[in-house]
Amino acid sequence: MRSRYYGIRYVTKLRTALLVSGLFFLFVPTLPEYEFQKPAQRMLIYAGGELLGAATDTAGVKELMTEARRELSAEEGSFLIPEIQTEFRPDTEGIAEKNSSDEELKLAFRQYMTQHRLAEVERSYTVKVNDTVVSVRDADTVKDILDDALAVYDTERKYEVQLVKDSDRELSVLKAEVHRRGEEALISEIAEPAGAAVFTDDIGEPVETAGEGFDSFDYGLEEVGFSEVIEICESCVDKEEVLEPAVAADLLTGMQAQQQIYKVESGDTLSVISLKVQLPLDEIIELNDELENENSIIRVGQELLITVPEPALSVLWTETARCEEVYDLPIEYVYNNEWYTNKKVTLKEPSAGYREAVNRITRKNDEIVDTEVLYEEVGIEAVAKVVEVGTIEPPTYIKPLSGGRISSTFGRRSQPKKGASTYHKGVDIAVPTGTSVWASSGGTVTRAGWAGGYGNVVCIQHADGKETRYGHLSKIYVKAGQTVRQGQVIAASGSTGVSTGPHLHFEIRIGGEAVNPMNYVNF
C-alpha cells in the first residue's frame, strides 16, 4: 500500500514539471533571432540576358561594375563603353555552385563591356547651323572654315573670326567675333577647348563720312558677319563621322536643297511654276502629295512645297560703292472709295531717270537685301507711275451647291454628246436631280428660263462686274430683275438642254468672256 507521503511527493513533482515548462515557453521569444533565420538566398546577376555571376550580398555589385568600366575606359579611351543595366534573379534552381568573387565579377563586367562596346570614337568639335550638323577635328578647323566663308566676299581678308570665351555664360562656352585683322577681341583671352557655344558676329556701327561729293567716301567692304546662328560643342563622336575640312565646309557653305513654300498666283500652272522656281516638274509633283500628275488642278492661294538651292551658312556683308544707274521712282497711288480693290487705272506712265550715286549695299551672299543711297547726283529726273485703285473689298464666290463630284472641268474636252461644245466654258458638278442650287454671290438676276443648250438657266450679274450662270436646271425659283443674296436657293439641279445626265453647269464670266471658275471658288 502506498503511503500518504508518496502522494504528496507525486503532486510536488508534477507541479515542478509544469512550472519549468511554463518558464521555458515564457522565455522562448528572447532567444537570439539567428537561431531561427534561414541562410541568405544566392542571387544570379544578369546583364542583357547574359549570366555574369552570383552573389549572396548584392550591395557591392554596382561599385564593382563602375570600377570595371573605369579601368576599361582608361585602357580603351577611343571607344564608347556602354552603360550596363543589371538584373538580380533568385537562384531557385541551384544554377550557381558558389558565389562569384569580386575579381571574378569585375572580370565578367569587363568582358561584357568589351563585347558590347560601341563604335570607335574621336574627340571633335561639332558645328550646328539650323538642321545642318558637321564634326571636325579641332577648333582651328572650325575657325578656318568660318574665315574661308568670309573670304569669298572679303577678298582682301581684312576681317577674321576670333573664337573667344563668352563671359555672359556660366559654363565655359565659345562665341565668334568678327574683327579686322590685327585688332584684338573684346575678350582678350582666346578660347581654349570648351563646351557648347553659340557663334555671333560683332560687326559694330557703320562708319559715317563727313562732307559731300564722291571723294568724301571710303569705298569697299564696310562690315561682314554671318546671317545664321552657329552652335559649336566639343564632343566625342563616331570616328567615321569626323569630316575632312573640305567636306565640312561644303556642307556648311555649299549649295544644298532647302525646302520653301510657293503660293500659287493667278495665271499659274504647274509648268509655269516649274519655270519660275527653276525646279523640274516631276520634283514638284513628288514633293506635294496632293498633286497626282502635271494635269492636277491647282488654285490661287494654294501653298506648294518646293526646294531651292541655298547654303546652310550665309554671309551677311555690306559695302560702300559708287554706281551709275538707271533708276525708277516708287509707284504713287490715288485711292478711289467707290471702286473695288481689283480695279486699277494708270493715270500717268513712268519714266526712268539716270543718276550717279554712292550706295551702301547689304547682301546675303550674292543677293541684295538692302540698298541705302548715301549721296547722289541726278542727271535725268525720274517720273513716277501714278495708279488709281479702289478701296472696296470685292464680293466673294462660294460653291453653288452642297456635295457633288466634278465631272467636267473648264477648257478643251472631247465632245461628250452630239451638240455639246468641245471647249467647256464652265465646271460640271454631278449631283442628283432636285439638288438645291445657291447663288454663288449676291447680285441681280438677269435671266431665268430656257436658253438652248443650257436648258433651264439662271444668270446673275454681280457688283464687281462678274456674271455667274447656272445651267441644266430642273426647276427655277427666281425671276429676272430679282435681287438675290449669296447662298440663297435659286433653283434645283437637273438634266435639261444638251446634257449627258443630272448635273449643274456653273460658269463665271468677266466682260462677257468665260473664265475658269476654279480660280475663284473653292470646290
| Domain range annotation of the chain | 4-35, 43-115, 123-207+215-252, 260-307, 318-392, 405-519
Average pLDDT over residues 425-432: 95
Say what the pLDDT of residue 468 is.
Answer: 98
Indicate whether 479 pLDDT > 90. yes
Question: Which three three-digit cell numbers place residue 444?
Answer: 441681280
Alpha-carbon distance 308 to 323, whole Å?
30
Report pLDDT for 124. Answer: 87
Helix 245-253 vs helix 139-151: crossing angle, to nearest 10: 50
The candidate with the shortest Cα–Cα distance to 312, out of 478, 520, 433, 149, is 149
Q: Give yes or no for residue 78 having a pLDDT over 90.
A: no
Q: What is the pLDDT of residue 321?
A: 95
Calculate mean pLDDT across residues 229-258.
Answer: 87
Report which of 399, 397, 480, 483 is spatially closest to residue 446, judged by C-alpha positions: 480
- Sequence letter at residue 353: G
Least reliable range by pLDDT among 69-73, 149-153, 297-301 = 69-73
And the C-alpha cell for 161?
Answer: 573670326
Q: Are strands 303-311 and 315-327 parallel, antiparallel or unpaired?
A: unpaired
CA distance 197 to 350: 52
pLDDT score of 165: 73
Right CATH number for 260-307 from 1.10.510.10, 3.40.225.10, 3.10.350.10, 3.40.190.10? 3.10.350.10
Lowest mean pLDDT among 53-62, 217-226, 368-377: 53-62
| 318-392: CATH class | mainly beta
Other beta carbons within 10 angstroms of residue 12's beta carbon come to: 10
Tell me, what's the pLDDT at 206? 41
**pLDDT for the residue 205:** 42
C-alpha cell at 246: 573640305
Q: CA 490, CA 495: separation in Å to the nearest integer?
A: 16
Write down the pLDDT at residue 224. 95
Kindly indicate the confidence band of residue 297, based on its pLDDT and cuts at 50, 70 and 90. confident
Residue 494 is predicted with a pLDDT of 97
The C-alpha cell that represents 414 in the structure block: 472631247
Residue 123, C-alpha cell as written in the block: 574627340
What is the pLDDT, as a whole number, of residue 461?
97
pLDDT in tens, 178-217: 888 876 544 434 344 333 333 334 433 444 444 578 999 9
Among 116, 49, 36, 126, which residue's Cα sits nearest to residue 86?
Answer: 49
In the numeric block, the cell 565579377 is attached to: 105
Helix H, strand E, coil C: the string for 191-216 is CCCCCCEEECCCCCCCCCCCCCCHHH
Rounded mean pLDDT, 14-39: 52
Task: Tell me the pLDDT of the chain averaged across its residues.
Answer: 84
Tell me the C-alpha to C-alpha distance, in Å, between residue 244 and each of 139, 192, 213, 250, 421.
13, 21, 50, 10, 66
What secondary structure does DSSP assign to 295-352, as a single string? Answer: T----TT-EEEEEEEEESS-EEEEEEEEEEEEE-PPPEEEEEEEEETT-EEEEE--B-
Check residue 239 and give its pLDDT: 83
3-state SS track over 235-259: EEEEHHHECCHHHHHHHHHCEEEEE
DSSP state of 383: B
CATH fold label, 405-519: Glucose Permease (Domain IIA) (2.70.70)
**Equal fold, 260-307 vs 318-392:** no
pLDDT in tens, 368-397: 999 999 999 999 999 999 999 999 988 999
**Coil/strand/helix, residue 92:** coil
As to burial, measured by CB atoms within 10 angstroms (0-12 exposed, 13-18 middle, 19+ buried), residue 53 is buried
